[in-house]
Structure 1
Amino acid sequence: MKRFWTALCSSPWLLLGLLLAPLGASATHIVGGELDLQHKSGSTYALTLNLYFDAINGDPNALDQELTAGIFAKGTNQRMANVVLPLTSNTFVQYTNPVCSVGGLSTRKLVYAKDITLDAATYTNATGYYVAVERCCRNITISNIVNPGGAAQTFYLEFPAVVRAGAAFIDSTPRIFPPLGDYACRNELFYYDFGGQDVDGDSLAYDMVTPLNGHATAAVGNTAPTPSPAPYSTITWNAGLGTANQIPGAPTLGINARTGRLTVRPSNLGLFVFGVRCSEYRRGVKIGETRRDFQLYVLACPTNVAPKAQVRAAGSLVTYRPGRDTLRLLPGGNRCLTIRYTDADPNSVLSMSARPVNFTTPAVAFTTSTSGTVRTAADTLTATLCFPACTDTKGKVYLLDIIVADNGCSLPKHDTVRVAFTAALAPNAAPVLTSTLPPAPLPVSDQAPAVVRVVIGQRYTATLAGTDADRDALTMTATGVGFDLGAVGMQFAAQNGTGQASGTFSWEPTCTAVAAAGEGGGLLVRFGLAETGPCVPVPQERLVRFEVVPAGETQTFIPPNIITPNADGVNDEFRMPSLPVDFCDRKFAAIKIFSRWGQKVYESEARDFRWSGAGTGGMYYYLVTYTDGRKFKGWVEVVP
């Protein structure tokens, strides 16, 4: 374990700073902070100020119980409202690694918050609005600005109008990641993630900005004034420093515009203030921003040697060479890697991790311990990492970073081995499904089922068989689409096995099944054959529509359209022997015959009715009704 106490004893600069700290106890020692505006519901928003305060050197009397925020229109600087923010929380900012904590660095996070109303009839200015809170003063020990003890801070954010193009326009400030409680080591790379998240899904962009000073002063009664409108003055950098060079180093302090990752390799000891801006864009248009002021201690730390890692394919005596070798994972071969890692620093706690670079799945897995302590420089730890058997790069080269990290202060040091690999799957032949069911109609469509018409009261049976050349385990199934097979009397029995499966379907439909079929008159059954074992199974499927038909209905309904009631024994009466037969709830109800003027001339409830005409020739119209609402209409001519 690499502790920092030795650094305190070996750093006269730090000891002197700690001894002199009480001399500045009358200063407020504000570390930094940011404003936040989050939509809650309707016109209600939560306005929050996160203020970071030096818990070691700060004056406890400077811990305000409330602060005032001003809301202004950007285009005119008109004051829209003053909001008194009460103190709602007082906690400590945590170190990334608590073991690395030092006595001279402790930061409080003070949260001031209140719900406010941004009325849709008021906050309509297309140029948007800004919020500001002013407070004095900064840490007197800051190394990179002029007169730090007299420098104030203006906390600032911008937000858009709450109405755009006549519709509500809702926006919440992006949430920047938690502030750092860490320190940096001189001449060592320091990194921290300031990247944020936006609940609205807006695009975020980051840049370095000069911290704002504003109008507050150290004068009595003016340390936390009611905010004035913009413009706000900025702090004054020491000679040779500026927005692009806030903390001296190689590289100097910078931030990734897309990810929000801060990096710096500081070259000077001291306490340094810096400013970061996060701008949000919606459909390519900037709609708001928030700024964070913060500070970073740069200390003289003990020497920390980075750990080292080596990677070998399982069973190989050759070390993998990053950038030169590509591992090829073949079907049936060993898909594991052996990783050996160590550290020249004694008593270092090392941990191993893996991070995909250009792929997301499948997830690789360590099968052995990935952490341990190196007691001496001669100690070596070993871990095993395996790729899942179904890893398939589809001909592409995947990259995987294998990372070993120590527990050094202030931040761990790493060694990364980037492994390039390809992986292929064993070929898999699709299983074959055959059956006595009728084939699907041509052309074959995913949505076009085969049709089986089953006579009510008669049993229908079909057999299915599945085979697989790869001898994978097969499972045969039958599933009703939107209904339960057993509820309508359908039965399916399957015999599953390795490389083969079979199934038998049987059904003797009743009127219950007819009711379940509904107006469509059919029941869809999905027959499936699934294989288990291959990485990419190829299931087979048959979709069959079962329709119930009545017994005895063998002819098409074609009613006569002429009768000759002349007593010659030929076509003397109007009858309909080919009417659809009675079927469950579908029964003949009645026939009515009307003259051309709409007068009813005949009616009968007997399906074997006989009508010999109305006594005179002419055109007549009939209406046949069934109990299920079905109707048949037509005409018949009577020729005397």
Structure 2
Amino acid sequence: MGLPLPAFSFHAWVRLLLGLLLLLVGPAAYATHIVGGEMELQYRRGNTYTLRLNLYFDAINGNPGALDQQMTASIFDKANNRRMQNVVLPLTSNTFVQYTNPACTTPTLSTRKLVYALDITLEPAMYNSTAGYYAAVERCCRNNGISNIVNPQNAAQTFYLEFPAVVRNGRPFIDSTPRIFPPLGDYACRGEMFYYDFGGQDTDGDSLVYDMVTPLNGYSNTVDPSPLQAQPSPYSGITWGAGRSTANQIPGNPTLGIDSRTGRLTVRPSQLGLFVFGVRCTEYRQKVKIGETRRDFQLYVLNCPQNTPPSLQVYNGTGKLPAYVPGRDTLHLVPGGNRCLRIRFTDPDPISRLTLTTRPVNFSGLAPSFTSITTGMVRTAGAPDTLTATLCFPECQDTKGQVYLLDVIVADNGCSLPKLDTVRVAFTALPPPNTPPVLTSTFPTEVTGSAPVIVRIPVGGTYTATLAGTDTDRDPLALSAVGQGFDLAAAGMQFTAQNGTGRADGTFTWQASCEAAAVQENLMVQFRLQETTKCTPSPVVRTVQFVVLPPVDTVRFLPPNIITPNGDGKNDAFELPTLPPDYCDGRFAGIKIYSRWGNEVFHSPERTFRWNGAGSTGMYYYLITFTNGRRYKGWVQVLP
């Protein structure tokens, strides 16, 4: 005979059944699968932003049942943790994270990038707190094999970002959070230097600062692995294992660190294992913090085959001279002289593929280029032990008296990341001599240091100017004219040029019209004289402003002030044939005539009006208005 069942309430039975159900399906719900992730908030238009969660999923050990089809993000006010809204983010993309070198793929490491995103509205009337806001997504659990935290299979993760109010001082304050560079699919080798660029991009041009932070744990757990909404902050961090901390997340010499300005990660790991780490990117505008985003990620450290770094030497000219010595030598490139370097590069390891690149250190714009091979195999069948290449500087390179620095880099195809050798070349360069061209024109004389020359033409008038460019070096010249924010033809302007060697001529014509006045308030035209040589210097530029004036009055406006409506044919009516002419938006709107007591006695919208004095002598007053707000006032006396 069985024992009697204990007396349970209905709710107790429900809780018991739910607990049994969690035991049965729990592994699929909270399977250890999360590699890491970060959130982004990108401005779209108006009050619309895209809220995005990039989640990195362990494609080897993660349970497919734990791959969510949607995630819930919660937005809070930083000032008081007030919940602003919950946003359900659907899964929009599922791709693999790529290796830097696909040949280094290992079957023990494969990561998926899951993107959850949705366009949301941030109304200025609602999102105006000066403290700013934060968004969070909570999910459990992390990979079971993580080496540097306690109980990783029970450790959760909170994805987190901060953003400012969308309005400041009554005006829109537009900001997109930084977008951290793509995550690494690579592993690190024990005892070898590992490096990776986590530096971000900011569409608003804000300053970005990076530091290491403890990954966030938050409130989700194995019982509630995917909450319907995130809890407000503060969020607890993960629990570091023995000897680990925010400043020592991955053991090594050096330990894992990040460059605060560039976001470049470096570590020479000293232990094997899987290590989680956290990076924060803080955003500043005018030296004031306006937001931040965090990335949690993992780094797998393996034993790798021995890889000896490649080496290179740089020679000036033919390669017979002594090799260039960084820090001691400086190249001086002059017109007519040698502007090429010879490079010899090799690798002691067998079957190595080497690749040459260059990287400007303190300059931009013109840079040298290779005129021969930049990639090749060494120490394999049919391949030499050493490769050579030629690097040439442009004839027009001009360092403007400064010393420019250029890194010449050779990389091998070693795993997990290429080994490098770098020679930093210091150089100065002078371009070929050149006398600037001269631009003359029939435009009014420009006053040095003043605003652009202004040409004023009455509506209906035509203006013509000629331009001439000359060059004593007999270089090819080209003249052009460009409207600043408008099309020349739309404003009734035309420019033709005859370009040639040592001389260029141009003719500019303009038909001033009401249409031209309506195109743009300030019709600014930039005339440019450009040398079209291989070394193209800055153009000679002249800017002219064109203004449409009202028509010139052919008759002076002198209204009569006495009429005698006696029928003798002389001054019988008040009329104004000499009114200022209509001009574009300045057209005759009407006349009103008032008695001395302010009573209206006459009005007319017609320019050709006639008033015969209303049959009463005395003093009267008139008001004439135009459509552009122009007004004329006066008096007229009616005599017998």
Structure 1 equivalent of residue 591 of structure 2:
none
Measured against aligned partners, the alpha-carbon deviations of 1:440-490 in whole angstroms (never above 9, x if no partner) come to 9798999789xxxxxxxxxxxx9999684x5x4466979999999xx9999
Q: Verify the 8 A CA contact 1:135 1:152 in the aligned structure 2.
A: yes
Distance 1:129 1:528 in 2: 49
Structure 1 equivalent of residue 519 of structure 2:
none
Q: Verify the 8 A CA contact 1:428 1:536 in the aligned structure 2.
A: no
Distance 2:236 2:36 in 1: 16
Deviation, 1:86, is: 2.7
Residues 1:313 and 2:316 are matched in the alignment: yes
Structure 2 equivalent of residue 130 of structure 1:
134
Residues 1:287 and 2:290 are matched in the alignment: yes
Structure 2 equivalent of residue 186 of structure 1:
190
Q: After the TM superposition, which of the residue ranges 237-246 and 72-81 deviates more from structure 2?
A: 72-81
From 247, 251, 256, the equivalent of 2:250 is 247
Deviation, 1:182, is: 0.7
Q: Verify the 8 A CA contact 2:141 2:225 in the aligned structure 1.
A: no
Measured against aligned partners, the alpha-carbon deviations of 1:19-57 in whole angstroms (never above 9, x if no partner) come to xxxxx9983221111222223333333222221111111
Structure 2 equivalent of residue 56 of structure 1:
60
Task: Report % sequence identity.
Answer: 60
Could you state the TM-score of these two structures normalised by the residue count of structure 2?
0.69
Structure 1 equivalent of residue 411 of structure 2:
405
Counterparts in 2 of 1:411 and 1:445: CA distance versus 1, 3 Å: closer
Which amino acid is the alignment partner of residue 413 of structure 1? K
Distance 2:285 2:47 in 1: 20
Task: Summarize the alignment of residues 535-550 of structure 1 with structure 2, pairs less than 5 Å apart.
Answer: 535=535
Q: Count matched residues.
A: 522
Counterparts in 2 of 1:137 and 1:467: CA distance versus 1, 3 Å: closer
Which amino acid is the alignment partner of residue 190 of structure 1? F
Residues 1:156 and 2:138 are matched in the alignment: no
Distance 1:463 1:312 in 2: 50
Structure 1 equivalent of residue 173 of structure 2:
169
Distance 1:208 1:527 in 2: 53
Structure 1 equivalent of residue 151 of structure 2:
147
Aligned residue for 1:149, secondary structure, equals: helix
Q: Verify the 8 A CA contact 2:368 2:394 in the aligned structure 1.
A: yes
Residues 1:215 and 2:219 are matched in the alignment: yes
Aligned residue for 1:61, secondary structure, equals: helix
Aligned residue for 1:180, secondary structure, equals: coil
Deviation, 1:116, is: 3.0
Counterparts in 2 of 1:102 and 1:529: CA distance versus 1, 3 Å: closer
Q: Verify the 8 A CA contact 1:313 1:338 in the aligned structure 2.
A: yes
Counterparts in 2 of 1:191 and 1:488: CA distance versus 1, 3 Å: closer
Distance 1:489 1:48 in 2: 50
Distance 2:241 2:180 in 1: 28
Counterparts in 2 of 1:599 and 1:401: CA distance versus 1, 3 Å: farther
| Unmatched runs of 5 consecutive residues or more in structure 2 | 1-26, 455-465, 515-524, 545-550, 571-576, 584-640
Deviation, 1:340, is: 0.9
Q: Verify the 8 A CA contact 2:479 2:504 in the aligned structure 1.
A: no
Measured against aligned partners, the alpha-carbon deviations of 1:204-262 in whole angstroms (never above 9, x if no partner) come to 2111111111222223x445463222222211111111001000111111111122111
Residues 1:381 and 2:405 are matched in the alignment: no
Which amino acid is the alignment partner of residue 396 of structure 2? C
Task: Summarize the alignment of residues 242-281 of structure 1 with structure 2, pairs less than 5 Å apart.
Answer: 242-281=245-284
Deviation, 1:378, is: 5.7
Structure 1 equivalent of residue 94 of structure 2:
90
Residues 1:424 and 2:427 are matched in the alignment: no
| Unmatched runs of 5 consecutive residues or more in structure 1 | 1-23, 450-461, 506-512, 520-524, 545-584, 601-613, 615-622, 630-640
Deviation, 1:599, is: 8.6
Q: Verify the 8 A CA contact 1:350 1:371 in the aligned structure 2.
A: yes
Structure 1 equivalent of residue 363 of structure 2:
359
Distance 1:208 1:490 in 2: 59
Counterparts in 2 of 1:343 and 1:159: CA distance versus 1, 3 Å: same
Aligned residue for 2:65, secondary structure, equals: helix
Counterparts in 2 of 1:474 and 1:105: CA distance versus 1, 3 Å: closer
Aligned residue for 2:153, secondary structure, equals: helix
Deviation, 1:292, is: 1.1
Deviation, 1:501, is: 6.6
Q: Verify the 8 A CA contact 1:189 1:265 in the aligned structure 2.
A: yes
Aligned Cα root-mean-square deviation (Å): 4.8
Which has the larger Rg? 1
From 22, 29, 49, the equivalent of 2:33 is 29
Q: Verify the 8 A CA contact 1:586 1:628 in the aligned structure 2.
A: no
Which amino acid is the alignment partner of residue 298 of structure 2? Q
Deviation, 1:186, is: 0.8
Deviation, 1:173, is: 2.1
Q: Verify the 8 A CA contact 1:364 1:387 in the aligned structure 2.
A: yes
Structure 1 equivalent of residue 349 of structure 2:
345
Distance 2:540 2:78 in 1: 64
Distance 1:203 1:67 in 2: 30
Aligned residue for 2:427, secondary structure, equals: strand
Distance 1:39 1:356 in 2: 32
Distance 2:437 2:302 in 1: 68
Counterparts in 2 of 1:426 and 1:177: CA distance versus 1, 3 Å: closer
Distance 2:265 2:170 in 1: 40
Distance 1:135 1:149 in 2: 12
Could you state the TM-score of these two structures normalised by the residue count of structure 1?
0.69
